[in-house]
């Protein structure tokens, strides 16, 4: 009887080990067609991806946001000490295709971004009291310069990267680097106080930034495939 029990238990152990190996093998060979991910870099984003052709072509829909501000940057212009407040506000929905020409991690990415906001704002004020002729102006009352940059709401995207949108394993990661190709920014300038006359330089400012048509993008992405 002891030999029979030993034989049965030994058989159960062998079967259990084979079953576990089969389960692991099945999971590793499973074709995963969907993934959700989060990305960090030029802002924060989350996305959904779908396999169109395994190891070759994927489509991704994502939402990205970059909201950031720096206040009180000290700059000296024409001998005057200035305080500069800068804010960025970019929010967009993207639809992108990732193509892997060599069926490995390297990819070429193309798509389009739809921006609800794509704005940079710069406000400049005097740090200290200033004197014009014989008149001294208090820093708080001497005026400020408000410059606003707005790009077009729709912009194509091109880039390169490493990592599949839908990883072969459950967990994956990827790097993306590229740029949105937009129109030239529309710049508005508003000046108050003693520098109010500089508001007529708005046209010259738009000409100076006419070539700023690229909005760079870079990210590190973590994903879960299923």
- Residues 137, 214, single domain; the answer is yes
- Residues 12, 37, single domain; the answer is no
Q: What is the pTM of this model?
A: 0.80
- Residues 142, 86, single domain; the answer is yes
CATH number for the domain harbouring residue 39:
2.40.160.170
Q: How many domains does the chain have?
A: 2
Q: What pLDDT is attached to residue 118?
A: 95
- Residues 39, 116, single domain; the answer is yes
Six-digit token string for 169:
């394993």
Compute CA 93 distance to the chain's CA centroid, rounded to the nearest angstrom. Answer: 11
- Residues 137, 185, single domain; the answer is yes
- Residues 25, 36, single domain; the answer is no
Q: What pLDDT is attached to residue 221?
A: 98
- Residues 156, 73, single domain; the answer is yes
6-38 per-residue burial string, b: 16 or more CB within 10 A, e: under 16: eeeeeeeeeeeeeeeeeeeeeeeeeebeebebe
Q: What pLDDT is attached to residue 20?
A: 43
- Residues 114, 162, single domain; the answer is yes
- Residues 148, 215, single domain; the answer is yes
Pairing label, strands 171-181, 214-225: antiparallel
- Residues 13, 73, single domain; the answer is no
Q: Could you list the mean pLDDT of each consecutive 10-residue stretch along the chain, which spans 226 residues?
A: 47 45 50 96 97 97 97 85 95 98 98 97 89 71 90 97 97 98 95 83 93 96 98
Q: What pLDDT is attached to residue 33?
A: 97
- Residues 41, 125, single domain; the answer is yes
Q: How many residues does the chain have?
A: 226
Q: What pLDDT is attached to residue 120?
A: 97
Q: What pLDDT is attached to residue 29?
A: 58
CA distance 40 to 217: 11
Q: Which domain holds residue 2?
A: 1-30
- Residues 143, 210, single domain; the answer is yes
């Amino acid at each position: 009887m002891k030999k029979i029990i030993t034989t049965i238990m030994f058989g159960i152990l062998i079967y259990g080990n084979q079953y576990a190996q089969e389960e692991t093998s099945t999971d590793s060979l499973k074709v995963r067609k969907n993934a959700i991910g989060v990305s960090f870099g030029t802002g924060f984003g989350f996305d959904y991806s779908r396999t169109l052709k395994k190891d070759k072509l994927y489509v991704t829909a994502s939402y990205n946001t970059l909201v950031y501000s720096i206040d009180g940057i000290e700059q000296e212009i024409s001998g005057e000490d200035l305080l500069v407040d800068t804010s960025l506000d970019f929010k967009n929905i993207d639809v992108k295709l990732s193509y892997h020409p060599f069926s490995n991690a390297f990819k070429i990415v193309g798509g389009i971004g739809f921006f609800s906001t794509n704005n940079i704002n710069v406000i400049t004020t005097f740090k200290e009291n200033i004197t014009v002729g014989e008149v001294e102006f208090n820093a708080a009352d001497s005026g400020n310069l408000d410059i606003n940059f707005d790009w077009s709401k729709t912009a194509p995207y091109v880039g390169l990267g490493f990592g599949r949108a839908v990883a072969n394993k459950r967990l994956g990661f990827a790097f993306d680097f590229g740029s949105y190709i937009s129109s030239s920014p529309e710049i508005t300038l508003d000046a108050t106080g003693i520098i109010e006359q500089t508001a007529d330089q708005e046209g010259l400012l738009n000409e100076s930034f006419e070539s700023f048509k690229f909005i760079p993008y870079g990210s590190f992405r973590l994903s879960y495939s299923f």
